[in-house]
Amino acid sequence: MQPAIDRGPLRDTLPRTRTMAGFFKSLFNKITNRAEIDWDELEADLIGADLGVRPAGAIIDELKDLGRKISAEDVVETARRHLSAKLPADAPALAPRPDGKPFVILVVGVNGTGKTTSTAKLGNWLKKKGHPVVLAAADTFRAAAVEQLQRWGDRLGLPVVKGAPNADPSSVCYNAHQKAISDGAHFLLCDTAGRIHTRHNLMEELTKIRRTIAKQDETAPHLTLLVVDATTGSNALQQAKEFHKASPLDGLVVTKLDGSGKGGIAVTIHDQLGIPPRFIGTGEEPDAFSVFEKDKFVQEIL
């Protein structure tokens, strides 16, 4: 009989548990049905689950040190402990600014990661908590992104500030900031740079946006979030490095955790760059979005 394993509180909410249940099942079969553990294969499986090469090696070493026949639970429990040690505590809550000015969030990331969708989802999440929100459609390079954010705004009842096609993203952010201030919005979310032509361009664009936003509130922007697609594996680490050099990042939105993405990339990014996960995206619908919670996240990865 297979042992009952706590698959975590997200079990019933995330379709991707199918993937992870598959991972556990194959692990269970390999470990239970064989006389000898194939350590190389086990290490490859852990790396394949996006746990990273170094952490996978450390997990294997610790399992070998047990000096007895290991079980699938040993592997999962040891891996969870390692992951947990590498992740930050739960993200601090987002709160409106005490001075009454909008809390300004820049959302950055490569096209296709789910940046525009995540901006809308975050706006929806904040609105549901009772906060007035303004969205800035500042990913002006991709005309479809502006229309897409507008559609989200219409659907979710969130005001969207946009510019003319190919408008300067900074001026869109400036106008949106002005509206957010005059409307008394608690949060301004700017859907920004979605391209990396060169690092220089990216840095220039983000620096200009930051400078423009600071004109109306020198403490802004207050948070810069990078959206990473969990299904892209180590590519996401490279993107985080590039964006972090261009503009300091405060946190990650890890998207597509309902797909083949395993989330291990968030552990690697935090481990290597110190950028914590703040939110996770688990689908295309507005409510498929939640705040990062370490224990749930670790249970979901394994």
113 interacts with ligand GDP by CB under 6 A? yes
Q: How many residues does the chain have?
A: 302
Encode 153-177: b = buried (16+ Cβ within 10 Å), e = exposed.
beebebbbbbbeeeebbbbbbbbbb
Q: Tell me the CA distances in angstroms from 252 to 87, 101, 109, 256, 274, one per residue in order.
A: 12, 24, 10, 13, 11
Kind and range of the H or E run holding 56: helix 53-65
232 interacts with ligand GDP by CB under 6 A? no
Would you say 28 or 279 has its CB closer to ligand GDP? 279
Question: In the 8-state DSSP scheme, what is residue 91?
Answer: P
Token pair of 257, please? 């955790």
Q: Tell me the CA distances in angstroms from 155 to 46, 70, 160, one per residue in order.
A: 41, 52, 11
Applying CB under 6 A, which of residues 16, 115, 177, 270 lies at the interface with ligand GDP? 115
171 interacts with ligand GDP by CB under 6 A? no
Applying CB under 6 A, which of residues 55, 102, 114, 264 lies at the interface with ligand GDP? 114
Q: Report the nearest approach of ligand GDP to the CB of residue 232 (Å).
A: 11
16 interacts with ligand GDP by CB under 6 A? no
Applying CB under 6 A, which of residues 177, 283, 286, 296 lies at the interface with ligand GDP? 283
C-alpha neighbours within 13 Å on the C-beta side of residue 148: 20
Q: Report the nearest approach of ligand GDP to the CB of residue 202 (Å).
A: 15
> Among 84, 27, 76, which Cα is nearest to 266's?
84
Would you say 115 or 210 has its CB closer to ligand GDP? 115
145 interacts with ligand GDP by CB under 6 A? yes
The answer to whether 138 and 173 have CB atoms below 8 angstroms apart is yes
Would you say 132 or 259 has its CB closer to ligand GDP? 259
231 interacts with ligand GDP by CB under 6 A? no
Q: What is the per-residue binding string for ligand GDP in 29-68, x denoting contact by CB under 6 A?
A: ----------------------------------------
117 interacts with ligand GDP by CB under 6 A? yes
Would you say 226 or 275 has its CB closer to ligand GDP? 226
DSSP sequence for 222-273: -EEEEEEEGGGTHHHHHHHHHHHHHS---EEEEE-TTTT--SHHHHHHHHHH
**Residue numbers 176-205 binding ligand GDP by CB under 6 A:** 194
Helix, strand, coil percentages, rounded to 5, for the chain? 50, 15, 40
Would you say 63 or 172 has its CB closer to ligand GDP? 172
Applying CB under 6 A, which of residues 9, 22, 92, 112 lies at the interface with ligand GDP? 112
Q: Give the Cβ contact number of residue 215 at 10 Å.
A: 12
259 interacts with ligand GDP by CB under 6 A? yes
300 interacts with ligand GDP by CB under 6 A? no
284 interacts with ligand GDP by CB under 6 A? yes
Question: In the 8-state DSSP scheme, what is residue 102?
Answer: P
Q: Amino acid letter at 23?
A: F
Would you say 138 or 188 has its CB closer to ligand GDP? 138
Applying CB under 6 A, which of residues 16, 177, 222, 256 lies at the interface with ligand GDP? 256
List residues binding ligand GDP (CB under 6 A). Answer: 109, 111-117, 145, 148, 194, 255-256, 258-259, 281-284, 288
